[in-house]
Structure 1
């Protein structure tokens, strides 16, 4: 039986490479060889044992691109060699939430890279209903960013209508910058991003967004620039201070959308949430329609991704990639793991 090398995480701060059997093809399934994996902020939280929704052991990797290397009986729409990405959120398909397309709200939710093996398996056997095919004109990096872009689309969709709204975004990382681009594409009137890291602020400026350093003057600066309070605030950091800044800033009856992952429970100024009648909503994943919309925007080049793609590490240096991300002296946005790009496993 063909073998693969698995990046196995038995407990916090440990990653072991071990040999496993490649998944065996089955009727109605395809096997995808993973070539590119994007590292998500939630992966770092989980690796440190500080993600509140993830437990060990783990095989991480949910921002994926690769190639189909086996096609099971009964699969007619895909062939060996197809370049694809995988939608990692898998609901039961039967409950009322799944029937509405609200996969993230399924009580039986499974997630590739969470409670299911992720791209660290090197090969994944999946239902073709959860894959999206790309043309060769799309890069491996771009295809691997379908998932975070789907997160951004879903997060923006939590607001009934973003058109003509004044938007504040706390955090200029991958999700914050993708949310900003989706808001702009949807016709938001004005967008301001708060970001403390100089490199990320520079990238946000290159993308055409107004940047403010998050200090004691932030709230007054935003209101001065917008001539009012923002009607929508997106929290994309996962920390207490940015969350409360969003709550303080947003107008009465406005929206605060929480997209950040919190290692520690935040203390929230609920008095303001109540007094201002703020619509405070969480955002986790996406529907498959939103995932396909992300792929469509990438194929149409409607979203600028290249400036966000900053670093690559080989598969065997996965831990080094995590250390690089954790080092406050390093400047980066999206870091990728590369897996045997020139050995695709098919003729």
Structure 2
């Protein structure tokens, strides 16, 4: 194995450096060294590059959707061995705070998130504690392995939202996460899922993933269409995976969510919204926060191994790590056809 590697560092918003550094050594006998093979590019990576992620600090190596091969293990490691294909969790937690003890480790008081508050996987090698590394079968392509983390978000957000087969679902935004939430809701037996977007190609893709109805909010009245589809009752649960200033207010307007319904926002937009107490309490709506995932990696990996997901078309653009500048060029000059990028390591 060579002695040095390349890493990608966002030094400050809109300033990126590719550095040649030494391959890290294990810090202790509970760690593993991972050679990266694929890494997803998430919306939060875009926000880090553009200086819009309130959870990030600089300088920072992005990347929290990480898949690779174990190259070295500490003496205490028993869950993986050298040569195993693995997925790396994006969070490190304390295990001692109130949140960790009630099963909410994703919002641990001291949580560190790879690629945001701690360095991530946009580098050829990195180390991680073995208890944050999960084995995945070699039959899963690296292109799909990089999607485990976003599919875990789909599992977590729908679990937080208490989705059941009887739900009538509204999803605002049919990008990567919206499409995955759609697939997850259909897998949970939901017979009516309504997807809303401004892009016809995204809505057409959503139909292929099982959407029962689609609404283009540029050309259609969302409330009127939801009322028509639901016989004037509204949906029982809405997911905001568009996450733009005002998107939460859009979902919360009367006529979309029914009385006793649930609202699940997924973003970190810091712009104030025009939500009133009456919008919540007149219908007694539950607003349910969701962040990343907790205890969803292993079941999601199992489903990925069993080919239970429609991964075709979720990632649209594959870029070699040696051509990483193309990732940032697409961040600066968005291409509607590049709905999700995955970095493939040489």
Q: Please, what TM-score do these two structures have when normalized by structure 2?
A: 0.93
Range that drifts further, 167-176 or 45-54:
45-54
Take 1:265 and 1:312, find their aligned partners in 2: how far apart are those partners? 35
- Aligned match for 1:274, one of 268, 271, 281: 281
CA RMSD of aligned residues (A): 1.7
Contact 1:132 1:292 survives alignment (8 Å): yes
Aligned counterpart in structure 1 of residue 139 of structure 2, from 114, 137, 140: 137
For 2:274 and 2:147, the matched residues in 1 are separated by 32
Which one has the bigger helix percentage? 1
SS of the residue aligned with 1:58?
A: coil
Match of 1:185 in 2: 187
How far is the alpha carbon of 1:172 from its aligned partner? Answer: 0.1
Greater mean deviation of Cα atoms: 329-338 or 112-121: 329-338
Cross-structure match for 2:290: 283
Cα distance in structure 1, aligned partners of 2:11 and 2:273: 28
Aligned to 2:16: 15
Higher relative CO (Cα under 8 Å, sequence separation at least 6) belongs to 1
Deviation at 1:325? 4.3
Whether contact under 8 Å (2:29, 2:75) holds in the other structure is: yes
Of 217, 240, 247, the residue aligned with 1:242 is 247
d(CA) in 1 for partners of 2:313, 2:223:
28
Superposition deviation, residue 192 in structure 1: 0.6
Distance in 1 of aligned mates of 2:92 and 2:334? 34
Q: Distance in 2 between matches of 1:43 and 1:266?
A: 24
Does the aligned pair in 2 maintain the 1:4–1:21 contact within 8 Å?
A: yes
Taking the aligned partners of 1:88 and 1:28, their CA distance within structure 2 comes to: 17
Other structure's SS at 1:4 match: strand
Q: How far 1:271 sits from its partner (Å)?
A: 3.1
Segments of 4+ moved more than 4 angstroms: none
2:222 to 209, 218, 224: 218
- CA contact 2:165–2:189 (8 Å) conserved in 1: yes
> By how many angstroms is 1:245 displaced?
2.4
- If the length of structure 1 is used for normalisation, what is the TM-score? 0.93
Task: Tell me what 1:344 maps to.
Answer: none
Aligned to 1:343: none
Unaligned runs of 5+ in 1: 341-347
Report the Cα distance in structure 1 between the residues aligned to 2:262 and 2:112, rounded to whole angstroms. Answer: 29
Q: Which runs of 5+ in 2 are unaligned?
A: none
| Structure 1 equivalent of residue 64 of structure 2 | 62
Q: Deviations over 1:154-206 (max 9, x none)?
A: 11111234221000000001110111111111111310110111221221122
Distance 2:325 2:53 in 1: 17
Q: How does 1:39-118 map to 2 (within 5 A)?
A: 39-118=41-120
Q: Could you tell me how far apart the structure 2 residues matched to 1:325 and 1:201 are?
A: 22
Cα distance, 1:270 vs structure 2: 4.3
Of residues 218, 238, 247, the one that matches 1:233 is: 238
